[in-house]
Structure 1
Amino acid sequence: MQHTVRQLIPKVAPFVRPYLGLMGLSFLANLVFSLVNAAVLAVVEPIFRTLFGASAPIAAASTTPAIGSGLKAWFDGFIYNVVIADQFFDSIRNLSIFIFVLFIIRGVAKYLGRIISVRMEEGIMKSIRDALFMKVTALSMDFFARKKTGDVMSLLTNDVSVLNSATVNSLTTIWREGTTILIYLALLLAISPTLTLIAIGISLGGLILIRTTTGVLRRYGARMQSAQANYTSTLQESVLGIRVVKALGIESTMIKRFTDQTSHYVRMALRNTRISGLVPLVNDTFGILALVGVFYAGGSALAAGEIQPSNLVTFLFLLFGLMQPITTTVSTIANMQRGIAAADNVVNLLEEQPSIAAGDVVPSTFTTALSVKDLTFSYGDGPVLRNVSFTLRRGETIALVGASGSGKSTMLDLLLRFYDPTSGVIEFDGTDIRTFDLVSYRKQFGMVSQETILFNDTVANNISLGYADANDENIRRAARIAHAETFINQLPETYQTSIGDRGMRLSGGQRQRLAIARAVVRDPQILLFDEATSALDTESERIVQEAISDVLQDRTAVIVAHRLSTIVNADRILVFEQGCIVEEGTHDALLSRGGVYAKLHAMQYANDSTDQRS
């Protein structure tokens, strides 16, 4: 959904509200900076008067507005009463000191304004990043099924950075330069309202032309963000899958994909720049036209005696000085269009709602059974599971087997409530799991999957991940149960050894045993194993299987297995075929029936025998 600026403001405002104090200080510092900037140019007239021998300021023309006349009169009075002395050299000395002090104040105000602005901007961006990360972790699995990981990463990094530089930072710039513009305009009006209106009238033509570019710039900004997300996604996929990339020898393919995407980004950036680059060009052209127009009209007024030479020189200096803040403001507004596109992406993510609604009931200790009743589930196309019913009793181990795509792993996702069934119900000790608080419910489970996810941290921290109450004894006990203690003690720093990014310093079997230790450290009520040994070699599989067998002693568990030899001791085996349970029983009972399970077993045994002979 694309939002208008008016819709985006209330969405972003809550992140800005805690920093209103800093924003006020930043505005104050930038106001001082703008006032001093104006004073630096306004002091030109007294300098000319002093250098060329005029003894007193000339009163403003009667056409000058009262406010402008009062401001001009106050400044002239301050300069001539405090700074200008009777002696020429005293006046030059005082003016030199005054100008030096002005520039010191200007520098300090600019420095303080920058420090305060950065603190405010980074604080706002931190709040937005934190909110986005909390939102991402709270969203349901279906969100990650339809979004590329690289797109999400790009949004949290690239889009937030663009939002900061092109929007939040720009507000400070617009305030500083806008204040300067207003002060300069007040001084210009104080000198000559007629010349000021001439300058404004000519400049308005440029502003009208510039206004037509904002929609185009916003579209190109959105395309730049999309292109940036695409190459970030390719980068992330290539780095995470570097083993596959190298094993298949597809480096050149990935390089071409990445370079094509970065080239597309460059094209979008160039198109954006072709438009945004016109903004200062048009603005400067009309600014020079305004300056030339004022020069001509002012010269005519000077010849007619309607304006004093010193006033005209000061007016031209102020008007020339006005061009820079106007150019900066207009260019900043043009650049903000990309920030608005990034803000739209951010707000769209913040507005995402999890499809799985959490309940408010905290489950008690698992005492009787986890029951699946007449469950049907579909990802959207066709049913993956149909009319599935079974009961997992406390202390029982059941295994789910079947061909790939038969719905085994999906069943585990439903038990963990990553998804809700299309129809049917899952009950935990007789209570519908949809009534439970999600975090409390999922803490009842320990999960070991085929894809082991470890973090770039120590062995101990990976085992105790998310378990704040874990102590050394808990960690060591979990490692012993998972048959991981022996290899951990052989590591350079044992439990304090860093295992590298995704645990790459460990073998596949070692990583899997750490995953098992992590699953049992908190002593969960139910263990789930999703093809935990399928990616391991024979020796690693044997060691991990021994660990799983020890872990299962007196525990409740569900095992999804590809190798049937790993589940022969299960209390019950459920055989899935095309989303349905077609057989149920023990290993021996299912073999004696000669059905689907027996055929799977025969096929696997034949393959294993062939592998052994070869």
Structure 2
Amino acid sequence: MNYFKQILRFARPYRIYAILNIISNIFYALFGTLAMVSLFPMLNVLFGNTVPVKVEPKWEGILKVKEYSENYLNFFVTQKAEEGNQDVLIFMVILVISMFFLKNIFSYMAMYFITFLRNGVLKDIREELYEKTMDLPLSYFSEKRKGDTIARITTDVLEIQHSFLSILELIVREPLMILFTIFAMLLISLKLTIFVFIFIPVSGFLISLIGKKLKKHSDNVQKEQGYFLSIIEETLGGLKVIKGFNAEHIFGGKFKESTTRFFKYGNSLANRQNLASPTSEFLGITVIAILLWYGGQMVLIEKSLAPGLFIVYMGLAYNILTPAKAISKASYGVKRGNAAAERVLEILNASSPLEDKPDATHKVDFTTDISLENISFKYEDEYVLNDFSLVVPKGSSVALVGQSGSGKSTIANLVTRFYDVNKGSIKIDNFDIKNLTKKSLRDLMGLVTQDSILFNDTIKKNLLIGRENATDKEIIEALKVANAWEFVKELPKGIETNIGDSGNKLSGGQKQRLSIARAVLKNPPIMILDEATSALDTESERLVQSALENMMKNRTSIVIAHRLSTIQNSNLIVVLQKGKIVEKGTHEELISKNGVYQKLVTMQSFDQ
């Protein structure tokens, strides 16, 4: 129930629809009960059980409502008979039809209003989940499968809509229907109603036994769904490798194993769930059958209950079955929804260690330097940076080199605050970046990564991520700086050309030049280049390197380089080994030292 309360907060903006739904449901329950009760006058007329009453009865309070209703009915029929009007039966039929018509009108209105609430909550949960997913640090998702996150945003949220939010429909309508019906039953026969209530707790206990393991089964289904969505996502992302290594059977086997488990869990959940409806109906009919026996004795032997009233009473008793079944199904829905809500709220309630401080500074310019002061950092148990210090003055280009695992890319992740340092501090113009808003910090930086991350959209839309309000002229200028205009202008639609999923319609060099153009268009004072040329062939590398040199003019740059030929003109080259600085200086100074840098240059020259 705790999860339900947390999900219910999303319904607050739509409370007007909830109020209108409640009002409609009150009238639905009222007319639903009156529809059954309205059969009694017609049955009395049919059975000829009306007693002539010539004086209009007086209202003597709620306790005598039954006697008043019967007397008024008899008075009405007597009046019609004296007027010579033989259409009493037609009037009774119209009365019954009117009650059922009003019941169904209000039923539709209740469903109409709840639809806006349900879909509104669904929309808001999805939007908040997406925003939270964007806000959480990269470290949160490093251990999670993408498919599992996708499953939470799609299928789990739908499960909440179908299970939790269906309760909102039932929370007023069905209990009110039962309440009004029981009130009518008590008026007809107190003795018979007490007899009914002996059996209802027994039925409720038996139904509750079925639903005890639903949450566990549902949790298994949702986890498995996340797992096979991950397999699909990995398969689509790695089709070249899978086909190239003839590994279709490996991934096919993993997928079949997952869907087999899903089949097993799904069957177990559905069968237990499907048992609810027939069980509640059978128990309800059993109660009705016992009622027929006990009530029949009251009509035929004791003569304490009129036949017409007994038939109406039986109709009312059966009228309780439908809402009772709906409530029992809803209780299973809560258990099923609990599992989905738990998975969704795990993301929504996750706290980000990178959240802006309440008094965080919004920095708009960069004036002096970037300073990394005695920083240490670890992703898990072992430190990848140890007591690392470096100053990058404004306008200078600093290159970080070293073997894989030396901590180069980690520095880029820390400066952009994708992660926070464990010890020490990173400062921009003597402001600790932890005290700056993430938005203002990242507004000062442009990022070009080893993997050209592009999106399934036009070239123009991909570049506008850098600066939303840029003109076409500015986009073309950025493409020229990045040496990309030469191929973009040859495309059928120019900057309006769609580049496909992850930019797969382009070559590696073309994709990387678009990434550089995006950073150029943003025009930030600080540029972070994380192995921007390492995945390219020699010709593409020359074009990209030329583009990078164009972009770095008059800018502060931190360049993480694998290919040392690309950083020879840097103001400072820092050589890392196991998270520590082992050498630093210009290209010529480091070559003359004949140390670690010289060995790296020699190895690359030999490799080439």
TM-score interval, normalised by the smaller of the two chains: over 0.9
Determine the structure 2 residue equivalent to 1:349: 347
Determine the structure 2 residue equivalent to 1:611: none
Could you say what secondary structure the match of 1:321 adopts? helix
Determine the structure 2 residue equivalent to 1:287: 284
Q: Aligned partners of 1:25, 1:74: CA distance in 2, in Å?
A: 31
- Aligned 1:74-153 pairs, distance under 5 A: 74=69, 77=72, 81=76, 85-86=80-81, 90-153=87-150
Could you say what secondary structure the match of 2:522 adopts? coil
Q: Aligned partners of 2:370, 2:79: CA distance in 1, in Å?
A: 92
Alignment CA distance shift 1:185-1:84 (3 Å): farther
Determine the structure 2 residue equivalent to 1:254: 251
Determine the structure 2 residue equivalent to 1:31: 26
Determine the structure 2 residue equivalent to 1:337: 335
Alignment CA distance shift 1:564-1:397 (3 Å): same
Q: 2:466·2:519 contact (CA, 8 Å) conserved in 1?
A: no
- Aligned 1:36-51 pairs, distance under 5 A: 36-51=31-46
1:80 Cα deviation from its structure 2 partner: 7.3
- The amino acid across from 1:383 in the alignment is Y
Q: Aligned partners of 1:399, 1:95: CA distance in 2, in Å?
A: 93
Q: % of aligned pairs identical?
A: 32
Alignment CA distance shift 1:73-1:225 (3 Å): farther
Q: 1:479·1:514 contact (CA, 8 Å) conserved in 2?
A: yes
Determine the structure 1 residue equivalent to 2:490: 490
**Structure 2 gaps, min length 5:** 54-59
Q: Aligned partners of 1:509, 1:67: CA distance in 2, in Å?
A: 86
Deviation per residue, 1:400-425 (Å, 9 max, x gap): 11111111101100111111212121
Deviation per residue, 1:231-269 (Å, 9 max, x gap): 122222222333333333222222221222122122222
Q: Aligned partners of 1:549, 1:412: CA distance in 2, in Å?
A: 19
- The amino acid across from 1:587 in the alignment is H
- Aligned 1:457-476 pairs, distance under 5 A: 457-465=457-465, 467-476=467-476
Q: Aligned partners of 1:295, 1:66: CA distance in 2, in Å?
A: 31
Matched, 1:17 2:15: no
Alignment CA distance shift 1:184-1:459 (3 Å): same
- Aligned 1:50-89 pairs, distance under 5 A: 50-56=45-51, 67=62, 69-70=64-65, 73-74=68-69, 77=72, 81=76, 85-86=80-81
Determine the structure 1 residue equivalent to 2:56: none
1:457 Cα deviation from its structure 2 partner: 2.1
Q: Aligned partners of 2:522, 2:600: CA distance in 1, in Å?
A: 35
Could you say what secondary structure the match of 2:576 adopts? strand
- Aligned 1:129-528 pairs, distance under 5 A: 129-302=126-299, 303-359=301-357, 360-465=360-465, 467-528=467-528
Q: 2:273·2:332 contact (CA, 8 Å) conserved in 1?
A: yes
1:228 Cα deviation from its structure 2 partner: 1.6
Could you say what secondary structure the match of 1:490 adopts? coil
Q: Aligned partners of 1:78, 1:602: CA distance in 2, in Å?
A: 109
1:143 Cα deviation from its structure 2 partner: 0.7
Could you say what secondary structure the match of 1:446 adopts? strand
Matched, 1:576 2:573: no
Q: 1:482·1:548 contact (CA, 8 Å) conserved in 2?
A: yes
- The amino acid across from 2:44 in the alignment is R
Q: Aligned partners of 2:71, 2:563: CA distance in 1, in Å?
A: 94
1:516 Cα deviation from its structure 2 partner: 0.8
Could you say what secondary structure the match of 1:410 adopts? helix
Could you say what secondary structure the match of 2:142 adopts? helix
Q: 2:466·2:518 contact (CA, 8 Å) conserved in 1?
A: no
Deviation per residue, 1:153-203 (Å, 9 max, x gap): 111111111001111123213432222222211111111121112112112
Determine the structure 2 residue equivalent to 1:61: none
Determine the structure 2 residue equivalent to 1:62: none
Q: Aligned partners of 1:71, 1:473: CA distance in 2, in Å?
A: 84
Q: Aligned partners of 2:345, 2:292: CA distance in 1, in Å?
A: 49
- The amino acid across from 1:484 in the alignment is A
- The amino acid across from 1:264 in the alignment is R
Moved more, 136-145 or 156-165: 136-145
- The amino acid across from 1:12 in the alignment is I
Could you say what secondary structure the match of 2:87 adopts? helix
Moved more, 590-599 or 392-401: 590-599
- The amino acid across from 2:8 in the alignment is A
1:544 Cα deviation from its structure 2 partner: 1.5
Q: Aligned partners of 2:444, 2:503: CA distance in 1, in Å?
A: 26
Q: Aligned partners of 1:430, 1:115: CA distance in 2, in Å?
A: 59
Determine the structure 1 residue equivalent to 2:57: none
- The amino acid across from 1:258 in the alignment is F
Q: Aligned partners of 1:483, 1:283: CA distance in 2, in Å?
A: 72
Q: 1:84·1:91 contact (CA, 8 Å) conserved in 2?
A: no
Q: 2:137·2:354 contact (CA, 8 Å) conserved in 1?
A: yes
Could you say what secondary structure the match of 1:401 adopts? strand
- The amino acid across from 1:443 in the alignment is D
Q: Aligned partners of 2:432, 2:352: CA distance in 1, in Å?
A: 19
Could you say what secondary structure the match of 1:469 adopts? coil
Alignment CA distance shift 1:82-1:476 (3 Å): farther
- The amino acid across from 2:32 in the alignment is N
Deviation per residue, 1:380-406 (Å, 9 max, x gap): 211101121111111111111111111
Deviation per residue, 1:282-317 (Å, 9 max, x gap): 322321221122111111211111111111111112
- The amino acid across from 1:504 in the alignment is N
Q: 2:42·2:92 contact (CA, 8 Å) conserved in 1?
A: yes
Aligned residues: 597
Q: Aligned partners of 1:264, 1:604: CA distance in 2, in Å?
A: 50
Q: Aligned partners of 1:72, 1:572: CA distance in 2, in Å?
A: 102
Q: Aligned partners of 2:67, 2:535: CA distance in 1, in Å?
A: 82
Q: Aligned partners of 1:76, 1:280: CA distance in 2, in Å?
A: 41
Alignment CA distance shift 1:312-1:332 (3 Å): same
- The amino acid across from 1:132 in the alignment is L
Could you say what secondary structure the match of 2:372 adopts? strand
Q: Aligned partners of 2:439, 2:355: CA distance in 1, in Å?
A: 12
Could you say what secondary structure the match of 1:505 adopts? coil
Q: Aligned partners of 2:213, 2:222: CA distance in 1, in Å?
A: 14
Q: Aligned partners of 1:118, 1:171: CA distance in 2, in Å?
A: 11
Q: Aligned partners of 2:482, 2:75: CA distance in 1, in Å?
A: 88
Q: Aligned partners of 2:504, 2:115: CA distance in 1, in Å?
A: 38
Deviation per residue, 1:487-514 (Å, 9 max, x gap): 2222222122222222222222222111
Moved more, 170-179 or 118-127: 170-179
Q: Aligned partners of 1:140, 1:53: CA distance in 2, in Å?
A: 79
Alignment CA distance shift 1:145-1:95 (3 Å): same
Alignment CA distance shift 1:101-1:442 (3 Å): same
Could you say what secondary structure the match of 2:533 adopts? coil
Could you say what secondary structure the match of 1:521 adopts? helix
Q: Aligned partners of 1:54, 1:397: CA distance in 2, in Å?
A: 104
Determine the structure 1 residue equivalent to 2:604: 604
Alignment CA distance shift 1:192-1:572 (3 Å): same
Q: Aligned partners of 1:400, 1:464: CA distance in 2, in Å?
A: 29
Matched, 1:594 2:594: yes
Q: Aligned partners of 1:249, 1:139: CA distance in 2, in Å?
A: 37
Two-structure CA RMSD over aligned residues (Å): 2.4
Could you say what secondary structure the match of 1:386 adopts? strand
Could you say what secondary structure the match of 1:534 adopts? coil
**Structure 1 gaps, min length 5:** 59-64, 609-614
